[in-house]
Structure formats: structure tokens, C-alpha cells
Structure 1
Amino acid sequence: MLEYKVVEVSDVTEDNLERALNHWTREGWRFDGMHFVVRETARRPSMAFVLFVKSTENDDALGGSREGN
């Protein structure tokens, strides 16, 4: 079974995004995507959601993988 994690980054800077990516991948999560919230009046994103995924122990024991599901 897959488990998902959504991390909200409210101050969207290169350093903050790198920090979130490095922290959660070190914890065993695999990067799955990133979505930005952009207001019409601003050029820069006001918020980012960084998505991660990892297999639970049950999935690993059964030989499951993300691509196969």
C-alpha cells in the first residue's frame, strides 16, 4: 500500500523548497510532485505543496510497487 505526504511551503524560495525535498527524502519518502499557488496579481508563487510517496511495510512484503498498481 502506498502512503502519501503533502508538505506545505508557505515561503516559496529555492532554499525552502530544497530544505523540504532533502528533509523528507532522507526520511525515506520519494518525491512525487510539486504544485504552486499563484495569485493573478503576483509573479511569484504564494505557496507550494510538495508531494511525497512511500511504500508501507505490507506493500514491500508483497513485492508491490507504484508502477505496478
Structure 2
Amino acid sequence: MSNIKPERARRGSGCPTCGKPSAAAHIPFCSQGCRDRDLLQWLSDGHRIPGPPVDEEDRDSGD
């Protein structure tokens, strides 16, 4: 699960990774490092979008 605090995830409250003010070149993040950490969280299933459960049979079929 994500380490981001809910108050930091709100729009306009700064970097969603560390909470520092956003930098124009990396909006909504403060730096390239925070952008990269966020991408790694998505790639490693650290961030997830809620949805209905998936049957193992459907997952294995690749459809």
C-alpha cells in the first residue's frame, strides 16, 4: 500500500510523495527523484486503483 498520507494526496497541497512545495518543472512533484519514486510505486503495485476482485481464472487467461 502507499506511504502517502491522505492530506498530502489532495490537489494543491504540494508534492504527493514528500509534501514539499511543487516545482514548476515537475508538477505535481517537487523533484525528479519524487517523480521516479512515485513511478516505482505504481510499477511495483504500491499504488492501486480500487475495483472489483478479479478471478484467478480470468487473470491467467490474458484476455
Do the two structures share a fold, i.e. TM-score over 0.5?
no
Higher relative contact order (CA 8 A, sep 6+): 1
Q: TM-score, with normalisation over the residues of structure 1?
A: 0.30
Bigger strand share: 1
